[in-house]
Structure 1
Amino acid sequence: MRISFTKMHGLGNDFVVIDGQAQILPELSPAAVRNIADRHGGIGCDQLILLEASDKADSKMRIFNADGSEVEACGNAARAVAVLLGEKAALETAGGVIALTPAEGGASVDMGTPRFGWEEIPLQMPMNTNRMPVAWDGLENPAAVNVGNPHVIFFVENVADVPLSDLGPQIEHDPLFPERVNVNVASVKDRKTIELRVWERGAGLTKACGTGACATAAAAIRRGLTEKRVIVHLPGGALEIEQAGDGRLTMTGPATESFRGSFEWDDFA
């Protein structure tokens, strides 16, 4: 069985997008996802994106990390899908329905309202999610936010000084986070600018993380560190995050189609 795909990226966070509405697909197994995502023996990607029919929205987006795990949300992938669809659309995800608006060179995505309750992150036990009384090797008092998926955010002086490749997996798998967690280290440069690095749950260090940018902006706004419209600079480029009066977050930034191709399913199943 030959499967068509589109390779895309948002600020270097790359995806294999498979349209399951246009072709009949076998069930994706974690092993197949890992094989497709492998950068040496497969196509290579941070996430595999599967589009399916939806009875709640125009389409449904399922998101699989490179390790084969399925997750709830991906902001960069949402922008990529917006570019692929080429028109305004409502997109169902496991984290809720989001609104896509293509724009020149990318898209804007209504990411919904951030959630701050400890049980909404979720955490293993009740605690103040604005300034959590926990620490890992010098990283302390983070904020926790759910923007369709769980994030923990550490505000630091210099993001380059944090050994995120070492601390990221430790924090991701800490029992405090029963569904694991995305780990963000952020430096507020001024009231309108944030620098950010992200260890992404199930994918590791990434050049960009759209939900990480949204979660970090929401945490910074909640602490009074920034205005409600900020530019978040990641290793792969910048995203604009804006919080409306009702609390909803809009993310705007680029997304690009790299190439299209096809593969034999049995080569990766």
Structure 2
Amino acid sequence: MALRFHKMHGLGNDFVVIDAREQAVTMTDGLARALSDRKTGIGCDQLILIEPSAVATAKMRIFNADGGEVESCGNATRCVVSLLGGEATVETLGGLLDGRTIGGTVSVDLIEPRFDWDAIPLAYAMDTARMPVGWDELTDPVGVNVGNPHVVFFVDDVDAVPLDILGPQIETDPLFPARINVNIAQVVGPNHLKMRTFERGVGLTRACGTGACATGVAAIRRGLMKGPVTIDMPGGTLVIDWAPGRPVNMAGPATHVFTAEADISAFQ
């Protein structure tokens, strides 16, 4: 069967997007892994499936490169909103997300952040504004759920941290029963951060939309800055805005690379 797909990216965080409203697709973790493989598949950080929704413009399902289905992905949401066009509401496992395309920028409202230890989730209760835990030089993180779970560490130099080594250790620590996305951030100016992310089930990525949201929220919660916050990542820049009691807003580009077809039987 010919499978039509779009290759898209948000700041280098790349996706294979399949519109299953046009053609029903039964996705499994094995098929998601095969399609995501950069050597024997199409290749992407996350595989995105767009399905019909009874409560929104469309439903978005997100599969990491390891095949695991996750709740939310900010960069992918911007790409899906861009595909849907104009204003759209997207149903995800992490909640309903509102988005709009304005010129070359896609703005998305994520859910209101959650800070309760069992909402992140953590294995046991603690203060999530200053978590009393650490892994080598990474200590004192902020815990936040913005549709998926994150910890944010503030450091003096993000480039000096061996995130490729510490990221997998933190992601799979028993403290995080659903695993965790790991973000490190450096203050580089007023309301301006530099950030790197180790994504759960993916690894180091050029950009992470929900990671940027979590990091902006953490910086505002810590009193380091006020929104909107500009966040530079290896793949580019997002602008994050948030105030207590409100959803997080994320604004940035979404790039359509090409549309193609593949024989799905080759991946099963």
Amino acid at match of 1:134: V
Partner Cα separation in structure 1 for residue 159 and residue 264 of structure 2: 41
Matched, 1:22 2:22: yes
Q: Tell me, what secondary structure is at the counterpart of 1:214?
A: helix
Q: Alpha-carbon deviation of 1:96?
A: 0.2
Q: Alpha-carbon deviation of 1:88?
A: 0.4
1:50-89 matches, cutoff 5 A: 50-89=49-88
2:92 maps to which residue?
Answer: 93
Q: Tell me, what secondary structure is at the counterpart of 2:62?
A: strand
Matched, 1:8 2:20: no
Amino acid at match of 2:179: R
Partner Cα separation in structure 2 for residue 183 and residue 199 of structure 1: 5
81-90 or 158-167: bigger deviation: 81-90
1:109-188 matches, cutoff 5 A: 109-188=108-187
Q: Alpha-carbon deviation of 1:24?
A: 2.1
Matched, 1:219 2:200: no
TM-score by length of 2: 0.98
Amino acid at match of 2:17: V
Unaligned runs of 5+ in 1: none
Partner Cα separation in structure 2 for residue 164 and residue 110 of structure 1: 28
2:250 maps to which residue?
Answer: 251
Root mean square deviation, CA, Å: 0.9
Partner Cα separation in structure 1 for residue 111 and residue 243 of structure 2: 10
Unaligned runs of 5+ in 2: none
Partner Cα separation in structure 2 for residue 100 and residue 79 of structure 1: 7
Q: Alpha-carbon deviation of 1:112?
A: 2.1
Partner Cα separation in structure 2 for residue 220 and residue 243 of structure 1: 10
Cα deviation digits, residues 135-194 of structure 1 (max 9, x gap): 101211101000000000000000001000000000000000000000000011223101
Cα deviation digits, residues 19-63 of structure 1 (max 9, x gap): 0101122x2111111111111111100000000111121110000
Cα deviation digits, residues 205-262 of structure 1 (max 9, x gap): 0000000000000011001001121100000000000114642211000010000111
1:39-54 matches, cutoff 5 A: 39-54=38-53
32-41 or 64-73: bigger deviation: 32-41
Partner Cα separation in structure 1 for residue 81 and residue 246 of structure 2: 22
2:37 maps to which residue?
Answer: 38
Partner Cα separation in structure 1 for residue 105 and residue 71 of structure 2: 22
Partner Cα separation in structure 2 for residue 140 and residue 89 of structure 1: 39
- Runs of 4+ in structure 1 off by over 6 angstroms are none
Partner Cα separation in structure 2 for residue 227 and residue 191 of structure 1: 9
Matched positions, count: 268
Same amino acid, percent of matched pairs: 55
Partner Cα separation in structure 1 for residue 75 and residue 167 of structure 2: 20
Q: Tell me, what secondary structure is at the counterpart of 1:90?
A: strand
Q: Tell me, what secondary structure is at the counterpart of 1:107?
A: strand
Is the contact between residue 95 and residue 149 of structure 1 (CA under 8 Å) also seen in structure 2?
A: yes
Q: Tell me, what secondary structure is at the counterpart of 1:121?
A: coil
